[in-house]
A and B are shown apart, each in its own frame.
Chain A
Amino acid sequence: MFTITVKRESILELMNFLYRENDLAFTFLTDLTGVHFPHPNDELGVVYHLHNLPSNFRLRIKTFFPKSDPQINSLTSLFASANFMERETYDFFGIIFLGHPNLKRILNVDDLGYFPMRKEYALEDPTRTDKDDTMFGRG
């Protein structure tokens, strides 16, 4: 699959172009997800999968930005299906989608307080209080 990596500032313009241009017509957003690479630069990313339905051609677009500034333009103005996928990506990675009409948690409990799919947590969290080790013979 063709994959291109772009700057986040151009994502909305690029998506509009791919959507509107008659020869391209990537009118279907198959998937949208987040990714976290803690090394070397501690970057978050968003990966978009586009589909041209008439020619069955797929395109993957990646964009990366620092974790300290996790913001990117929302695609909800272009794809209605981006609404829930961006909420999910926010829920798990804490990426803020600017211009999203209802950016709140979708799968996790509202008061979770952190973004669980980020690769920044110890494998076994010693501060956890909800795990009863006596049940597992390791208490």
Chain B
Amino acid sequence: MVNTAEAPAGVEGPGFFATSLDKVVGLARKHSIWPLPFATSCCGIEFMATMASTYDMARFGAERPSFSPRQADLLMVMGTIAKKMGPVLRQVYEQMAEPRWVIAVGACASSGGIFDTYSVLQGIDKIIPVDVYVPGCPPRPEQILDGLMRIQDLVENEPTRRRDSPEYKALLASYGIQ
């Protein structure tokens, strides 16, 4: 079964259709997100179910999990990130090309979860900016898919110039990136 994406709002007439570039780019990006799974624990197991045939994340255009950050659009962090893992995660994020999005799956990636301790990073947003948080310990595949759809909403509606804006640069600067 093939689902056709809805055309964005625009001006339609005989033989032409006009809309803004933002909307076309957003539409294309939304349905071709290449995720990079960064799975460290049980949330990663749930992600494997999300990726597999029953839940089939590929339905959303995320057909190709990229295991190289260079070609990935979406960093999916699933699981406990120890403080020692922090610099590695940050390096992976820095290697991704713009535009890039980040989803924190599960309580540990979002806030440290039950690991309220000296060796665990208390949420990945301490070191990299996060776009969507998925709650749960671990979240069910439906929740991860919902998180992916929220990312799709962000991707669809993102202005093409957002990544050049001073707000975005200030956000990265606040994390000491670039």
Contacts and interface: CB of A to CB of B under 8 A. Distances in A.
Interface of A: 107-109, 112, 116, 130-132, 135-136
A136 B83 contact: no
B126 interface: yes
B112 interface: yes
Contacts of A108: 83-84, 118-119
Contacts of B126: 130
Nearest to B113: A135
A131 B118 contact: no
B interface residue count range (under 10 / 10 to 19 / 20 to 34 / 35 or more): 10 to 19
Do most interface residues of chain B lie in helix, strand or loop, or is the interface mixed? loop
Contacts, number: 26
A131 B83 contact: no
B116 A109 contact: no
Interface string B102-126: 0000000011100010110111001
Contact of A131 (B84, B110, B112, B119): B112
Do most interface residues of chain A lie in helix, strand or loop, or is the interface mixed? loop
Contacts of A132: 111, 122-123
A116 B119 CA distance: 9
A122 B112 CA distance: 19
B111 A136 contact: yes
Nearest to B121: A130
Contacts of B116: 131
A132 B119 CA distance: 15
Contacts of A130: 112, 121-122, 126
Contacts of B110: 135
Nearest to A124: B116
Given A112-B83, A130-B112, A131-B122, 17 more contacts: A107-B84, A108-B83, A108-B84, A108-B118, A108-B119, A109-B84, A116-B118, A116-B119, A130-B121, A130-B122, A130-B126, A131-B112, A131-B116, A132-B122, A132-B123, A135-B111, A135-B123
A109 B123 CA distance: 17
5 contacts: A107-B119, A130-B122, A131-B112, A131-B116, A131-B122
Contacts of B121: 130
A132 B123 CA distance: 8
A109 B84 CA distance: 5
Contacts of A116: 118-119
